[in-house]
Amino acid sequence: MDFRKLMLVDDEEGVRRFLGLSFMDLGFEVETAENGQAALALFDEFQPQVVFTDIKMPVMDGIELLKGIKERAPETEVIMITGHGDMDLAIESLKHDASDFITKPINHDVLEFALQRARERFTMRNQLREHTENLEKLVEEKTRRIVELERQNAASQVVKGLSDALSDATRSVETGGGLFNELPCLVSIHNRYLEIVAHNTLFEERLGNRVGDNSFDIYSDRTSPGNACPVQKTFETGKGQRSKETFLSREGEEIPVTVYTAPIPGNNGDIELVLDISVDMTELQRLKDELLTTQYKYQRLFDEAPCYITVQNPDLSIAEANKRFVEDFGEAAGKPCFAYYKHRDEQCQDCLIKKTFKDGRSRQRETVVTTLSGEQKNMLVQSAPVHDASGKVVQAMEMSTDITEIRRLQDHLTSLGIMLGSMSHGVKGMLTSLDGGIYRLESGLKKNDQERVDAATKTLKAMIGRVKKMVLDILYYAKSRELETEKVDATGFLRDTASIAEAKADAACVEFACDVPDDLGELNVDTAAMSAALVNFLENGVDAVECRENGRVELTARRENGALVVTVSDNGMGMDRETREKIFTLFFSSKGKKGTGIGLFISNQTIERHGGSISVDSVPDRGSTFTITLPDKAARSI
């Protein structure tokens, strides 16, 4: 059985591609697989004699693959590829009859040595099997001894014929004519004294007339018989050799070659001459170097592109990602894109890649993503198909460009009109309520109806508060202004702020709790801006529990390491991760038409301008907790 079929199994496409080229260069027919499961599916059809497999792979690792192969074909040679930290796994693989293991990075000489040992094991196993079969048939062979002798005689005649043919080939080289002078190879004949006795025309053109020189003189790195050349090894072992060598041209330049030697026996059966046929690998090496250079160039362009790039499979798993993507979102190979960009468990409803696979067309849209560090970015996402040689879409590429700064500037220039338009109905409703409150106030004063006056006053105060909040939202978003800070009693300020939201909670039949201790000290803030921000959180909490039984909103405060920590919590609908990461984005609202998407954006800006921070803890259907921390410079003890 020929030792020429090889299977390479590795989850890294680059390793499969580069090692595959090396194995094909060594004369193997190569098939590759990305994991153990795919390799077993291919094994029965391909039936390789040797398998190179990485130990650590997704889906099915190298140890499980080794066991599966040995169950199917115990004679198959399996060589494990391992990193320096996986020596325990490599040793375990030997217990399961692995032929050998090599460590990364893979040295070409070590690779060829491992293949040679596997070839010897394979040959020895076949010979052992043949000997076993011969022993079982020994009795039958003795009864057919005469026939076997005749076959041996015929075989001897064939060997003699081959020997005569090689001798004729030798003479044709010596006389300067015949087939070997037509071969595009460097052909030479060597005697037992390790001397060149003849060579073909191409040999002389490339290396000069070397008849009479030592066999090892034509090599660049072999200067004496002590460093055996392939010809010398053939005389010593009686077997043909194959190796990669380097010749010296007549101009002194190095010529990479693949050397094949064959023994030529004399009439007495001893090796009389050695035939050396060497193939010039210069052009192949040039093409290989050019390919590697091109691959490196495009890999560098891929990694250094000023955007995020991923190449995705039809199942939306990421096949490749550039360096910028990996730095901001982590290693993503083999995992779905929506898990990294959106932190979702299922694909996005408006997935560009899915559409590109469906019709082969490029797509474009804008979205918001969150990096590993929690930074939110506005992205312009574009998809493009990747075709194979037949024109079929086999993968899709997604390029995402950071347009956060552009979007911020555009939003700042255009959003005022949008904001005012969205608020127009609200303003109209508040004006109507103010008119109604004034009418009721005037009516109560005329009729001296104190109860009517009190009700009208309460309505007017509520409407004036809403108008004030809306105007502040517009001012804070439309125009940056310096904070007008003042020192106030933190306890009184927080309790007054809570009373504003408590009215809305009472109207919505929502339980409202305020746990603000008496000894919180002074607070150095812009009271109008901070009050509006805290009320925004409280009223959002009321909205979240309004339609729920036993709805509850709570405001608490405490001192922690000198800072003032204010917590607003509710037991409402809660939020998933994607919503949590977007709630402070301009115009994002989870309330549908009931929200403008401005309030929390402005509240977040207010707290940041005070040097504070906000953390959000929320689970769907289990409520939300907003924790606002104001540092010493904003909140100081008395």
pLDDT at 497 over 80: yes
Give the residue with greater pLDDT, 6 vs 562: 6
pLDDT recorded at residue 78: 92
The string of pLDDT tens digits covering residues 367-380 is: 888 787 778 788 88
Of 539, 497, 542, the C-alpha closest to 520 is 497
Same domain, yes or no, for 469 and 501? no
Give the end of a domain, one of 133, 148, 181: 133
pLDDT of residue 625: 92
Residue 272 counted as domain residue: yes
Residue 583 CA: distances (Å) to CA of 176, 348, 576, 577:
87, 18, 11, 10
Highest mean pLDDT: which range of 203-212, 303-312, 360-369: 203-212
Domain count, the chain: 5
Write down which residue in 133, 153, 173 finishes a domain.
133
> Is 168 within the bounds of a domain?
yes
Q: Which residues pair with 199 in a beta bridge?
A: 188
Considering the domain architecture, whether residues 396 and 412 belong to the same structural domain is answered as no
Opening angle at CA 613, ends 612 and 618, nearest 5: 150
pLDDT at residue 162 is higher than 50:
no
Q: Which CATH number fits the domain that encloses residue 242?
A: 3.30.450.20
pLDDT at 637: 39
Q: Across all residues in the chain, what is the average pLDDT? A: 79
Q: Look at residue 272 and give its three-state secondary structure.
A: strand
Pair (90, 19) in one structural domain: yes
Mean pLDDT, residues 113-127 taken together: 84
Give the range of the structural domain holding residue 443, as residue numbers without chain letter.
407-478
Residue 443 belongs to a domain: yes
228 and 192 share a domain?
yes
Q: What pLDDT does 422 receive? A: 46
Asked if the structure places residue 152 within a domain, the reply is no
CA within 13 Å, CB half, 354: 10
What pLDDT band is residue 164 in, cutting at 50, 70 and 90? low
Pair (391, 448) in one structural domain = no
- The answer to whether residue 377 is domain-embedded is yes
Q: Are residues 231 and 368 in the same domain?
A: no
Question: What is the mean predicted confidence (pLDDT) over 559-566?
Answer: 88
Q: Is residue 342 part of a domain?
A: yes
99 Cβ neighbours under 8 A, 6+ residues apart? 50, 77, 78, 79, 114, 117, 118, 121
Please report whether residue 144 resides in a domain. Answer: no
17 pLDDT higher than 80: yes
Task: Calculate what percentage of the chain has a pLDDT beyond 90.
Answer: 13
Domain end point (choices 400, 434, 449): 400
Higher pLDDT: 159 or 130? It is 130
**Same domain, yes or no, for 276 and 194?**
yes
* pLDDT tops 70 at residue 327: yes
Predicted pLDDT of residue 590? 58
- Per residue in 75-109, pLDDT (tens digit) is 889 998 887 667 777 788 888 888 888 888 788 88
Same domain? 612 vs 580:
yes
pTM given for the model = 0.35
Kindly state whether residues 340 and 392 are assigned to the same domain: yes
In this structure, the number of other CB atoms found within 10 A of the CB of residue 599 comes to: 21
Give the pLDDT score at 158.
40
Residues 109 and 187 in one domain: no
CATH number at residue 587: 3.30.565.10
Q: Are residues 363 and 456 in the same domain?
A: no
Query: Which segment of 98-102, 219-223, 569-573, 597-601 scores lowest on mean pLDDT?
Result: 597-601
- Concatenate the DSSP letters of all residues of 588-622 into one string: --SSGGG--S-HHHHHHHHHHHTT-EEEEEE-TTS
Q: Is the model's pLDDT at 451 over the cut of 60? A: yes
Among 174-183, 484-493, 511-520, 561-570, which is the least confidently predicted range? Answer: 174-183
* Residue 150 belongs to some domain of the structure: no
Q: What is the CATH number of the domain that holds 39?
A: 3.40.50.2300
Structure tokens at 438: 């004034």
Stretch 270-292: mean pLDDT, rounded? 81
Residue 573 shares a structural domain with residue 531 = yes
Bigger pLDDT: 253 vs 144:
253
Check residues 121 and 141 and name the one with the higher pLDDT: 121
